[in-house]
Amino acid sequence: MTDPATPGHLAAHLRRGDVLSPRCPSRLVLKHVTSTWGTLALIVLQDGTLRFSELRRRVAGVSERMLSQTLKQLEGDGLVRRESFATVPPHVEYSLTDDGRQAARLVASLTDWIEERLPALTGSAAA
């Protein structure tokens, strides 16, 4: 077993990330992926490429500004692909990258678990 104090171990650890460290950049990605709007956008985009307006309709309750900000963050994280078309009026389509599809599957599993366990989680299950 490698000694955690050795430089090689530290370098490998930093390449992977350490979400428990306050300075770890993985925290920002975690924040984007697990935010309400980030999670819902990833789940909706599992169904395929969508235009902004279609995506906004599917993610009920999100404001245009918040969805735009969320998509920019997910694009910056390499999870969402944005493609602009020079048409009149211009339109933009969003789709998941390979990493985005993997992240979407994971957050979809978590949301499925939450929905299945909702009565127990909210305390409304029969005792």
Residue 127: what pLDDT? 45
Task: Point out which residues pair with 84 in neighbouring strands.
Answer: 92
Domain ranges across the chain: 18-115
Instruction: Give the confidence band of 101 by pLDDT, cuts at 50, 70, 90.
Output: very high
Compute CA 94 distance to the chain's CA centroid, rounded to the nearest angstrom. 13
How does pLDDT run across 28-75, given as a tens digit for each residue? 999 999 999 999 999 999 999 999 999 999 999 999 999 999 999 999
What CA–CA distance (Å, rounded) separates 55 from 40? 10
What CA–CA distance (Å, rounded) separates 52 from 72? 12
* Fold for the domain defined by 18-115: Arc Repressor Mutant, subunit A (1.10.10)
User: Residue 9 pLDDT more than 80?
Assistant: no
DSSP sequence for 68-122: HHHHHHHHHTTSEEEEEE--SS-EEEEEE-HHHHHHHHHHHHHHHHHHHHHHHHH
Instruction: Give the confidence band of 23 by pLDDT, cuts at 50, 70, 90.
Output: confident
